[in-house]
Amino acid sequence: MKVNVTVMLKQGVLDPQGKAIARALHGLGFEGVEDVRAGKLIELDLAETNPDAARAAAEAMAQKLLANSVIESFRVELG
C-alpha cells in the first residue's frame, strides 16, 4: 500500500529554505508570493494491505524517525 508522509516545520519555527525560495521567486517576477514554507514528502510502499494498519505503521515511522517532533509536524495520507 502506498502511503505519503508530509513533514513540515511547525508554525513559528524559522524556515530559511522557505525564505530563500520566496526571495528567488520574487527575483523571477512572482511578486504575489507572500510566504513560502518548505517541507519534505516521503513516499512509502508498504506490504501492509489493511488501511488502518498501514496508517498506524506510517505514523509510528514518522514519530520515531521521519519527523523531529520538537520542530516538525507530519501528515499521513494513504495513496
pLDDT per position in the chain (79 positions), as tens? Answer: 999 999 999 999 999 999 999 999 999 999 999 999 999 999 999 999 999 999 999 999 999 999 999 999 999 999 8
- The answer as to CATH 3.30.1280.10 being correct for domain 2-78 is yes
Query: Which three cell numbers, joined as nine digits, stand for 41?
Result: 514528502
